[in-house]
Structure 1
Amino acid sequence: MTVADQYLDFAAREARGVSPAYERLAYHVASDADLLDRLATLPTPKQQPNLLFAVVRLLGGPIGDPAEFRAFTLERWDDIAAQMLARATQTNEAGRTAALLPVLASLPQPLALLDVGASAGLCLFPDRYAYRYGSRTVGAGTPLLDCTSRGFTPPTRLPRVVWRAGLDLNPLDVTDPGDVAWLDALIWPEHQHRRDRLRAAIEVARKDPPRLVRGDAVTDLPALAAQAPATATLVVYHTSMLYQLPDPQAFLDVVRGLPGHWVAVESPAVVNAGRELPPPPSAALHNVLTLDGEPLAWVRGHGEALTWFGKDIY
């Protein structure tokens, strides 16, 4: 896939109907030879639209008008490229726990949670948030996470968590203003509701900071998993993380060898290679929720919709 193709795909499948500003910018970048030439100088994982747009926002650049965005990006390219090389799309979307909750609530309790690619650790608190699946609400905490759901009965209880840890190459600190600014920049411009719940989730994490370990998803995972209490069910999980790994298969080989359970919300091309899946609900980008490698549901990128097609897990 060329750089232009990446931006066209992002505009059509991710931003359309979700972020008009990013849809416009992505189509513009895809047709702009100067911007494409500069992006082509970066490693492939660093060319992605989310990373470019977030860095421009972090540096105070305009994202409402494509012409102004272009002028800013070309003028400040050296600064932008340096930030894109140093940073990653560590979107710590607490809303994704709404997709994880049905699986977590179904497993033998209590749980020991290990989030790989944990960013600031906000997805390590599924037991502290509240969830609304249509007319049914589960939990009483904040933020309240809305998830359109089809094909399954939502859980009636929250999981009981007795141990939680995160693993990340560059963990973010919820008490560091610079890290919080980066998390904010990663939220798409029109999504004030996501910005509000980011702040609410940060307050949850600040009251009980999660244990975040700086390390590699392949080489350092087994040692951290071994620290989970034997009296709890270990659950290793990750959401929209595998595409950033240089060798996703090496990670999958490691995680499949660990005790406990493995939960993923990832691209079906990565975690379900060779499996036949039902068609997704729409042409929009969907990830797939899996439990120990078995596909269960289609999930929209920020956890805002869940379409169940797998076995009954209750």
Structure 2
Amino acid sequence: MNDPLASQYEEFGRRWAHDTSPLYEQWSLGIAGDREVLTLLRSLPAEKQQPNLIFASARWAGGPLAGYPEWRDWLVQNWDAVADVARARTTQTNEAGRCATWMPPLSRIDGPVALLEVGAAAGLCLFPDRYGYEYTTPPGIRRLEPAEPTSVTLPCRIDDADAVPARYPEVVWRRGIDLAPIDASDPAQIDWLATLIWPGPVHDERVARLRAAARIASADPPRIARGDLLELLSDVAAESPADATLVVFHSAVLLYLDSRQRRRFAELMSGLGAAVGRRVMWLSNETKGTLDEIDAQVPAGLDTSHRFVQTRDATAIALAGQHGAVYETAPFRA
């Protein structure tokens, strides 16, 4: 397919929505072959043409959860309203379930830990120590519960029982950076996050989990700096406790940057420890195709659909399900 925008929707439908959100798969593939709708999309800035943002904007504006022909007619008739929402909003998939895939590397850090999430939205992933976990391993189920009772238990299928975390990290500091921080105590802002969750049986439980995690975050709200991660990273990192391991982490953030910005971020991370005088660990959950040096570590022919390549200090260590339900270390075991 020669049209990059059509290809973007084709990939979203076949690689990400397939088998998880039949409706979004149908919408994506429908748009990929629909010249009129593609022309409407091109009236928006490139960063506002993303499938998830457009679909959520349509739902926010009152669009029906219907098959492509009906939904497409509604979209064309109500395009101005949808475009207004897309211009005013951003894609922020603040999925607390991803903490289940952060816990294996976090639990192995000795001593106090300072967490800095770039692309933090409402900061729901800044509380891995406040959630419970249920890991399904080849030998059986392993559970981990925090000292204080929790309303959120995150399920995850993991392929190696030795990778299951045995303890919680000692989190002493939590911060975030986001272009448009979300207040976890504001029901309207949480409603937008809920609208970003895809329709479909695989995703229905995520809405309840989102709202429960938002209540945890609103009880102890982290500071989230508003602005560009490339501009704020060093300054916010320098605020962390000097005696703690600073963990900078992110999920599905770099794909929204262009290649030059991604390279700049990787350069910043490689020198961050020296710049701020602290021990720094860089944890990343990003799609294949984000950084060439990471792609080179992925075995040829490995299917990464619905999964991030998880890296620790730019070394691939696992495949992580896009919403936290899967953690696979086998492709990268020595």
Per the normalisation by structure 2, the TM-score is 0.89
User: Aligned residue for 1:6?
Assistant: 8
User: Are the aligned partners of 2:96 and 2:124 in contact in 1 as well (CA < 8 Å)?
Assistant: yes
Q: Which has the higher helix share?
A: 2
Which residue identity does 2:332 align to in structure 1? G
User: Aligned residue for 1:150?
Assistant: 159
User: SS of 1:172's equivalent?
Assistant: coil
> Alpha-carbon deviation of 1:125?
0.2
Q: For the residues of structure 2 that align with 1:152 and 1:267, how far apart are their CA atoms?
A: 25
> Alpha-carbon deviation of 1:216?
1.3
Which residue identity does 2:154 align to in structure 1? L
User: Aligned residue for 1:263?
Assistant: 283
> Alpha-carbon deviation of 1:271?
3.6
Q: What do the CA deviations read for 1:66-104 (whole angstroms, capped 9, x no partner)?
A: 122112211111121122122221010011111111011
Q: For the residues of structure 1 that align with 2:151 and 2:227, how far apart are their CA atoms?
A: 30
User: Are the aligned partners of 1:272 and 1:295 in contact in 2 as well (CA < 8 Å)?
Assistant: no
User: Are the aligned partners of 1:271 and 1:293 in contact in 2 as well (CA < 8 Å)?
Assistant: no
Q: What do the CA deviations read for 1:86-133 (whole angstroms, capped 9, x no partner)?
A: 222101001111111101111122100000010010000000011111
Percent identity over the alignment is 41
Q: For the residues of structure 2 that align with 1:157 and 1:101, how far apart are their CA atoms?
A: 9
Does structure 1 residue 216 correspond to structure 2 residue 228?
Answer: yes
Q: For the residues of structure 2 that align with 1:224 and 1:304, how far apart are their CA atoms?
A: 30
User: Aligned residue for 1:310?
Assistant: 332
2:215 to 203, 210, 218: 203
Q: For the residues of structure 1 that align with 2:209 and 2:300, how far apart are their CA atoms?
A: 31
User: Aligned residue for 2:319?
Assistant: 298
User: Are the aligned partners of 2:133 and 2:154 in contact in 1 as well (CA < 8 Å)?
Assistant: yes
User: SS of 1:73's equivalent?
Assistant: helix
Q: For the residues of structure 1 that align with 2:266 and 2:161, how far apart are their CA atoms?
A: 27
User: Aligned residue for 2:177?
Assistant: 167
Q: For the residues of structure 2 that align with 1:110 and 1:267, how far apart are their CA atoms?
A: 29
Q: What do the CA deviations read for 1:141-165 (whole angstroms, capped 9, x no partner)?
A: 3311111111352011111100000
Does structure 1 residue 193 correspond to structure 2 residue 205?
Answer: yes
2:143 to 137, 143, 167: 137
Q: For the residues of structure 1 that align with 2:311 and 2:188, how far apart are their CA atoms?
A: 34
Summarize the Cα distance change of 1:129–1:277 in structure 2 as closer, same or farther, 3 Å threshold. Answer: same
Which residue identity does 2:153 align to in structure 1? L
User: Are the aligned partners of 2:297 and 2:316 in contact in 1 as well (CA < 8 Å)?
Assistant: no
Report 1:1-314 matches (<5 A).
Answer: 2-134=4-136, 135-140=141-146, 141-153=150-162, 154-190=164-200, 191-246=203-258, 247-259=261-273, 260-273=280-293, 275-279=296-300, 282=303, 284-308=305-329, 309-310=331-332
Which residue identity does 1:305 align to in structure 2? V
> Alpha-carbon deviation of 1:45?
2.5
Summarize the Cα distance change of 1:188–1:207 in structure 2 as closer, same or farther, 3 Å threshold. Answer: same
Summarize the Cα distance change of 1:280–1:187 in structure 2 as closer, same or farther, 3 Å threshold. Answer: farther
Per the normalisation by structure 1, the TM-score is 0.94
Q: What do the CA deviations read for 1:165-220 (whole angstroms, capped 9, x no partner)?
A: 00111101112232111101001112221001001101101111111111210111
User: Are the aligned partners of 1:110 and 1:159 in contact in 2 as well (CA < 8 Å)?
Assistant: yes
> Alpha-carbon deviation of 1:55?
0.7
Q: For the residues of structure 2 that align with 1:189 and 1:276, how far apart are their CA atoms?
A: 33
Q: For the residues of structure 1 that align with 2:23 and 2:176, how far apart are their CA atoms?
A: 33
User: Are the aligned partners of 1:63 and 1:69 in contact in 2 as well (CA < 8 Å)?
Assistant: yes
User: Are the aligned partners of 1:129 and 1:143 in contact in 2 as well (CA < 8 Å)?
Assistant: yes
Range that drifts further, 77-86 or 120-129: 77-86
Q: For the residues of structure 2 that align with 1:284 and 1:64, how far apart are their CA atoms?
A: 25
> Alpha-carbon deviation of 1:283?
5.8
Q: For the residues of structure 2 that align with 1:16 and 1:133, how far apart are their CA atoms?
A: 25
User: Are the aligned partners of 1:272 and 1:293 in contact in 2 as well (CA < 8 Å)?
Assistant: no
Summarize the Cα distance change of 1:125–1:279 in structure 2 as closer, same or farther, 3 Å threshold. Answer: farther
Which residue identity does 2:257 align to in structure 1? L
User: Are the aligned partners of 1:264 and 1:289 in contact in 2 as well (CA < 8 Å)?
Assistant: yes
Count of residue pairs brought into register by the alignment: 312
Summarize the Cα distance change of 1:106–1:283 in structure 2 as closer, same or farther, 3 Å threshold. Answer: closer
Q: For the residues of structure 2 that align with 1:150 and 1:280, how far apart are their CA atoms?
A: 19
User: SS of 1:290's equivalent?
Assistant: strand
Q: For the residues of structure 2 that align with 1:98 and 1:245, how far apart are their CA atoms?
A: 25
Q: What do the CA deviations read for 1:18-70 (whole angstroms, capped 9, x no partner)?
A: 01111111121112221111112223322121111111111121122212211
